[in-house]
């Protein structure tokens, strides 16, 4: 192989690396940038109009579990709020799973609302 052929082969290989390397990197990394979506959960047992004490306890636990998600799934941009006996969440599935697990482990299990 002549020198000009070697240079040509090298140039083609280098340009392929430049073109395909971003796709290979994004395929290898876990996707935290997936689009966050909204989902709602009933408290178990479902209480549509909880007392002030129950609502306050639920709100404190939601805040604590949101902090847990932020710590364990950095960059997830997870949020949750309480409306009656319904907990609304916005975030990726990984963050939602950590939130659901935290709520369950702390005595506030949630059930998905099937729409």
Q: Quick check: helix, strand or coil at residue 3?
A: helix
Rg (alpha carbons) of the chain, rounded to whole number: 24
What are the residue ranges spanned by the domains of the chain? 1-30, 37-112
CB burial string 23-33: b at 16+ within 10 A, e below = eeeeeeeeeee
Residues 6 or more apart from 42 whose CB is under 8 A from it?
85, 86, 87, 110, 111, 112, 113
Verdict on whether the full-model pTM lies above 0.75: no
Q: Which CATH class is domain 37-112?
A: alpha beta
Specify the DSSP class assigned to residue 77: -
CB burial string 49-59: b at 16+ within 10 A, e below = ebeeeebeebe
> Tens digit of pLDDT per residue, the chain (115 long)?
677 666 665 566 666 656 565 555 444 444 445 566 888 888 888 888 888 999 999 999 999 999 999 999 998 889 999 988 899 999 999 999 999 999 999 999 999 887 5
């Amino acid at each position: 192989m002549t020198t000009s052929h070697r240079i040509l082969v090298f140039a083609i290989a280098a340009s392929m690396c430049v073109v395909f390397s971003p796709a290979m990197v994004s395929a290898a990394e876990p996707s935290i940038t997936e689009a966050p979506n909204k989902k709602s959960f009933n408290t178990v047992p479902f209480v549509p109009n909880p007392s002030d004490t129950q609502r306050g306890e639920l709100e404190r636990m939601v805040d604590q579990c949101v902090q847990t998600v932020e710590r364990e799934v950095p960059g997830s941009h997870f949020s949750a709020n309480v409306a009656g006996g319904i907990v609304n969440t916005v975030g990726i599935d990984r963050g939602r799973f950590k939130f659901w697990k935290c709520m369950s482990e702390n005595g506030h299990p949630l059930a998905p609302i099937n729409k």
